[in-house]
Amino acid sequence: MNMTESNISIQGVNLLDIAHRYGAPVYVYDADVIKRQYDTLLDAFSGVNVKIKFACKALSNISVMRLLRSFGSGLDTVSIQEVELGLYAGFEPHEIIYTPNCVSYEEIQSAIGKGVVVNIDNLSVLERFGHDYGNSVPCCVRLNPHILAGGNHHIQTGHIDSKFGISIYQLRHLLRIVQTYNIRVNGLHVHSGSDILDAGVFLQGADIIFDAARNFSDLEFIDFGSGFKVAYKDDDVTTDIQDMGKKISKAFNEFCDEYGKKLELWFEPGKYLVSEAGYFLVKTNVIKQTVSTVFAGVDSGQNHLIRPMFYDAYHRIINISNPEGTPRVYSVVGYICETDTFAWDRKIAEIREGDILCFLNAGAYGFTMSSNYNSRLRPAEVLVYQGKDILIRRRESLDDILSTQIEAVF
């Protein structure tokens, strides 16, 4: 983002102009930032055969998927619908990994039928898979390393009470199933959670998965998931990707030498690729002063951006209509009939009714977690690519809400 007194823009496109052209609320994504993040990852792991699989649950717009595919990315999916979107966006089946949990076996069979890489995280499902497919269809296996990655407990997935993955302590049972049904395991997967700062967490997981990998002779890749931390505040500590890449690449190459085969190293970044690329623009409806607080009420809410209420997530908010205004303290709240707070006691340039506020770091888990709660309409999405703003999702209408409803006659 470029910021001057009269112009807050990305790639030379004024954000206020976007808000006026497409209306607010609206999500805006900067393609250049996505490319920068993608290239940074590739550079950090240049010493190994690395494959990036974009975790599309973070931002599942097909235009963003196609953009990442043009960079060379594959796709990480967690539902059959994401698989279908990925195929529609042009990814080849072998470029897509499907990592569900607690889904029906029929959904897994559907993914197998589409030819994508299937990642299994349950012993009973693995046994059914082996009975039905034997070694005719390869699969990946997701292991739970029982590592607490630290940070927000809402986004940790590798601890002992997690529903994700097959416990590393069940490895012997896992191997008995693989051997009994002659299952061809071509990949191992581990993912400890999000907002991981320390390469040591990945290396701890690496030691566990390398030890497990010695029991599988047909591996083609090892998938370390993701979890790289991005900055939400000016003074935030972030993952040192270059240090991470150097240490993990060294350990991975040493393992490959021991294994006797050069494997691919996979990562599944979502937030890291798109979070900083996203801006969420909203209009201020009211300024409401109470005995204790000044509220800035906007034309959005947790129906559009649930992360602050769901994860206690922080998003920096700036007033792009009055960026040089005198800073004042506001609580920014939404229009949903619930406790619906984006920010408490936040210092922001003076906000007036009608001003456009911009939420930063809104590219990940923003629109994809939106809803029609209170029968509100979901916003438009705009991609800024090569200096031009492109509408990649129109704003919903009431017809969209009614389109799946069938009227009963009484």
**Number of domains within the chain:** 2
Q: Quick one: 180 and 300 in the same domain?
A: no
- In a 3-state reduction of DSSP, which class is residue 298? strand
Q: Choose one of 268, 296, 314: the last residue of a domain.
A: 268
Last residue of a domain, one of 213, 245, 268: 268
Boundary of a domain, candidates 268, 289, 312: 268
Is residue 337 annotated as a catalytic residue, yes or no? Answer: yes
Residue 341 sits in which domain range? 2-28+275-402
What 3-state DSSP class applies to 326? coil
Provide the residue-wise pLDDT of the chain in tens; the chain has 410 residues: 776 655 789 999 999 999 999 999 999 999 999 999 999 999 999 999 999 999 999 999 999 999 999 999 999 999 999 999 999 999 999 999 999 999 999 999 999 999 999 999 999 999 999 999 999 999 999 999 887 654 444 444 444 667 889 999 999 999 999 999 999 999 999 986 555 556 677 788 888 999 999 999 999 999 998 888 777 777 777 778 898 899 999 999 999 999 999 999 999 999 999 999 999 999 999 999 999 999 999 999 999 999 999 999 999 999 999 999 999 999 999 999 999 999 999 999 999 999 999 999 999 999 999 999 999 999 999 999 999 999 999 999 999 999 999 999 99
Asked if residue 43 belongs to a domain, the reply is no
Q: What pLDDT, on a 0 to 100 scale, did the predictor assign at position 155?
A: 40
Note whether 141 and 238 are same-domain residues: yes
> Is there a domain that residue 57 lies in?
no
Cα distances from 81 to residues 109, 247, 318, in angstroms, run 13, 36, 35
**Is 239 inside any structural domain?**
yes
The pLDDT, as a whole number, for residue 132 is: 98
- One domain for residues 236 and 282: no
Asked if 165 and 206 sit in the same domain, the reply is yes
The reply to whether 82 falls in a domain is no
For residues 285 and 255, state if they share a domain.
no
* Positive/negative CA dihedral, 267, 269, 273, 276: negative
Among 325, 380, 369, CA closest to 348 = 325
Residue 410 lies in a domain: no
Q: Are residues 279 and 219 in the same domain?
A: no
CA 407 – CA 410 distance, rounded (Å): 9
Reference 55, options 371, 372, 392, 368; nearest CA is 368
Task: Please report, for residues 91, 113, 307, 373, the alpha-carbon distance to residue 142 in angstroms, rounded to integers and kept in the order given.
Answer: 22, 20, 27, 34
Give the pLDDT score at 148.
Answer: 61
* One domain, residues 205 and 105: yes
pTM, to two decimals: 0.93
Q: What is the pLDDT of residue 202?
A: 74
167 φ, ψ to 5°?
Answer: -55, 135
Active-site annotation holder among 139, 140, 337, 358:
337
156 beta partners: 193
Could you tell me the CATH number of the domain that includes residue 233? 3.20.20.10
Using DSSP bridges, classify how beta strands 294-298 and 317-319 pair: parallel, antiparallel or unpaired. unpaired
For residues 165 and 286, membership in a common domain is answered with no
d(CA 297, CA 189) in angstroms, rounded, equals 44
Q: CA-to-CA distance for 61 and 51, rounded, in angstroms?
A: 21
